[in-house]
A = this chain, B = another copy of it.
Amino acid sequence: MSAPKYVYFFEEGDGTMKELLGGKGAGLAEMMRAGLPVPQGFIITTQACLRFYEAQRSFPDGLDAQVEQAMLQLEGRVGTRFGDPSDPLLVSVRSGARVSMPGMMDTILNLGLNDATVAGLATLTQNERFAWDAYRRFIMMFSSVVLNVDKDRFEELIEERKHELGISTDPEIDAGSWKALVTRFKAIVREHAGRDFPQDVREQLHLAIQAVFDSWNSKRAIDYRRFNKIPDDWGTAVSVVQMVFGNMGDDSGTGVAFTRDPNTGENVLFGEYLVNAQGEDVVAGIRTPQKIADLERSQPAIYRQFQEIAHRLERHYKEMQDLEFTVERGKLFMLQTRTGKRSAEAAVKIAIDLVNEGLIDKRTAVGRVNASSLDQLFHARIDTDARVEVAAHGLNASPGAATGQVVFTADDAVAWNEAGKPTILVRVETTPDDVHGMIASRGILTAKGGATSHAAVVARGMGKPCVAGCDALQIDRRSKTASLNGTALHEGDWLTIDGSTGNVMLGRLPLIEAPSTLPPWLATFLSWADDVRRMQVWANADTPEDARKARELGAQGIGLCRTEHMFMQQERLPIVQQMILANTPEARAEALAKLLPFQREDFVGILEAMAGYPVTIRLLDPPLHEFLPSLEELLVETTELRLTTGVETHEYRAKEAMLKRVQQLHEQNPMLGLRVCRLGILYPEIYAMQVRAIFEAACELKERGVDARPEVMIPGVGTPEEMRSTYDAAKAVADAVLSAQTTTLAYHIGTMVELPRACVVADELAQTAQFFSFGTNDLTQTTYGYSRDDAEAGFIPTYLEKKILKDDPFQVLDRRGVGSLMREAVRLGRDARAELKIGICGEHGGEPSSVAFCDTLGLDYVSCSPYRVPIARLAAAQATLGTLT
């Protein structure tokens, strides 16, 4: 069996061959075909890399021979010979994966130098300093990458030499000093690598190729892939390219450039150029490069040639390019072209411009913008110019950045806020008792709790930044102090949190506020997405403000209105508690009667804000004890009172009574306890009150001519009997209200599908339910048996690290497990009721790849938080286009 073709010269490939040749290799091949000035070279395929790993990190059969053969050809093309002391061929050896992984893998320049060829290079170039500088660079790079010698060892010697010479920069070092340093460098290699620096150029090449292959599985490369969701089994290609030198004098240089501004999208060349330097000098940031535009003055011919090439490449690829080039003694060489990374704003604007320039059509433009990146546009963020030092890291529980002064209690937050001081509320965890303080704060930081902790859920609901579960935070409630990774925090200290990243920073950092409406360019762009997509996009919103915001951002309905957040408002909580603590049905009824007008008012607001669009209102969902004070705090407080004021006081008795009730309602696993429709079945009067409020609100609006479209959603149904019984009860109340008002109104009653059993019996549920909405947060919890609160702050990080999980299933919908159950539910549900409307209202509804999956399931809509509506609009369009899968 003969070996596959592992080696391709540039002209043998083209731009479509990224999979085999890597992105960089395919780009070089494409430029070569286009007749652009590219150095000679060849590419070792990604397949060779994969075979290398299959063979336990040894070269696959035939690779050495093909490389040997290619080097002979390269010698012929360039006209010099590899290892020839009189006129040596030097090459660069670089990695190149299918997609760019900047800085993640290794590169070696100037390969082919040794004690003999360095002299030849000096003679040939008549530049001894250049030759020895090149050689010492090669030794440093090769030794650190291939032989694993710490680069600092070399840097120390250079610093020492400069000190001896009384100079401060590398360019001041002369040829003799470099020569002397090379001798000492080789001694260091011998000492630290246990071998001599290889003088055989073929050995150099072999080792360098192997090192590039190895760098595919370096820790930083693996981490980068995990973060960017790049498969581990792609492998990297290796390019071996004739060296060209930007450091051969002032008519030489090296540069990087984008064909458009990657921050703003403006159509201007954007980049940097460094005279008399090699590429690594630009990256290293030792010298300050000039702007690319300045090249127009210093080397106008080169600039014009480059500008023309950039324009050609952009028109060729119909996309903004990221270019690398070198000028060797007045001659331009293109070293790389690839699609340029850019900000979300630039991505949208460039896509629009490319359409206006006639290069691409609107559908293509829609596919060009990373949907997730739009998230950046809708939250305050820390000014990119600010110097950021991260003091601690927690869970990115609610996005956006906030800065304020530390307070430790909700009451303090209110007081400071009234005094006009911005605060960050710092708590071990929050309870309903803290909500007024959360409202009064700019952001929330907690030591405990995950992405569905009270703090996280409420903060997200409020649109406030929150970092939760920050392990490094220890709070001393009594002294109102805390320790953050060892630094003491006092009340009033400034703190900045970034809920998008989970970072916590000491001090007050400058913030850039989010735009309050959809910018016109984004509105235009999203309208193109709307023309493409099949699925509707709805929003999860609990308040009229959120609903209005969602509508502005393009939501076509409310997929989830959580009524419990209405229960948690400060003035209502005491009534809710009165209802829960009621000992008799009469007392409960009295409390519910007080809540009715509040709920009706809530629903009037939200139904009016969404007039003409469906509003899906979920009846009460969480376990009742979520509305009561914390059991742990009550235990401490009653014990304190017992030992101080005694058990005879009114205060003790009241606390003790509350403790008893909280203990009674306490559950081992509240996520799996008395909640969802179980509440509505055990306490039918609660759901009855809510349904009454919904339909009284709708009637009131109808009288005012407002087109209210309520949909009643029963949470957590697992059996057809639950569905039937809650459906009947809700319908009875709704119809009673409507007939008392002698009016009619189209409405539906459906269920949130959030339990595995609901998926399995979906056909039976659909006999009654008029719509399904997948609650994928809970469905993920029960399918995996993970409590989100415990898992995301607990074992999931380790699971991701150990590759037990590819993604956090609460962030990215698990297609294989949860997705299978959803598919089954869709099939069974539609079999039983062909017109069944099906959506998703879990947080996955705003995550692009999950949106794409929902499209393949044939869902009618996705629903997500208001600020994710633009993301979902774009993702849904990309799903239709097939560019997002």
Contacts and interface: CB of A to CB of B under 8 A. Distances in A.
A820 B725 CA distance: 24
Contacts of A674: 790, 794-795
A784 interface: yes
User: How many copies, total?
Assistant: 2
A566 interface: no
A803 interface: yes
Contact of A672 (B636, B725, B787): B787
Contacts of A804: 681, 719, 721-722, 725
A219 interface: no
Interface in A769-817: 778, 781-787, 789-791, 794-795, 798-799, 802-805, 814, 816-817
A671 interface: yes
B672 A790 contact: yes
A794 B667 contact: yes
A795 B682 contact: yes
A176 interface: no
A784 B672 CA distance: 8
Contacts of A785: 671-672, 676, 716, 718, 754-757, 778, 782
A737 interface: no
Contacts of A670: 668-669, 787, 790
A818 B719 CA distance: 12
A223 to B, nearest CB: 18
A721 B803 contact: yes
A755 B781 contact: no
Given A631-B632, A784-B718, A791 B672 contact: yes
A635 to B, nearest CB: 5
B820 A760 contact: yes
- Chain B CB within 10 A, most for which of A644, A670, A718: A718
Nearest to A633: B635
A34 B502 CA distance: 86
A157 B580 CA distance: 49
Nearest to A676: B785
A787 B725 contact: no
Contacts of A681: 795, 798-799, 802, 804
Contacts of A746: none
B756 A817 contact: yes
A669 B789 contact: yes
Interface string A388-399: 000000000000
A882 interface: no
Contacts of A789: 667-669
Contacts of A778: 785
B760 A817 contact: yes
Nearest to A640: B639
Contact of A669 (B669, B756, B760): B669
A844 to B, nearest CB: 16
Nearest to A669: B787
Interface residues of A, number: 58
A791 B818 CA distance: 24
A728 to B, nearest CB: 12
Interface string A812-839: 0010111011000000000000000000
Interface string A699-740: 000000000000000001011011001000000000000000
A91 B20 CA distance: 95
A643 interface: yes
A379 interface: no
A59 B676 CA distance: 42
A667 B798 CA distance: 17
A719 B718 CA distance: 24
Contacts of A754: 785
Contacts of A678: 795, 799
Contacts of A669: 669-672, 787, 789-790
Contact of A821 (B453, B760, B791, B803): B760
A786 B761 CA distance: 16
Contacts of A453: 668
A673 interface: yes
Contacts of A722: 804
A211 B231 CA distance: 73
Contacts of A816: 760-761
A778 B756 CA distance: 13
Contacts of A636: 635-636, 639
Interface in A228-278: none
A820 B762 CA distance: 12
Nearest to A796: B678
Contacts of A817: 718-719, 756-757, 760-761
A721 B809 CA distance: 14
Contacts of A794: 667, 673-674
Contacts of A682: 795, 798
Contact of A725 (B644, B761, B802): B802
8 contacts: A635-B635, A669-B669, A669-B670, A671-B785, A672-B787, A681-B798, A755-B785, A757-B784
Interface of A: 453, 631-632, 635-636, 639-640, 643-644, 667-674, 676, 678, 681-682, 716, 718-719, 721-722, 725, 754-757, 760-761, 778, 781-787, 789-791, 794-795, 798-799, 802-805, 814, 816-818, 820-821
A-B interface, 6 closest residue pairs, ranked by CB to CB distance from nearest: A672-B787, A669-B787, A757-B817, A673-B790, A756-B756, A639-B639
Given A453-B668, A760-B820, 9 more contacts: A667-B787, A672-B791, A718-B784, A722-B804, A754-B785, A756-B817, A757-B784, A760-B817, A782-B785
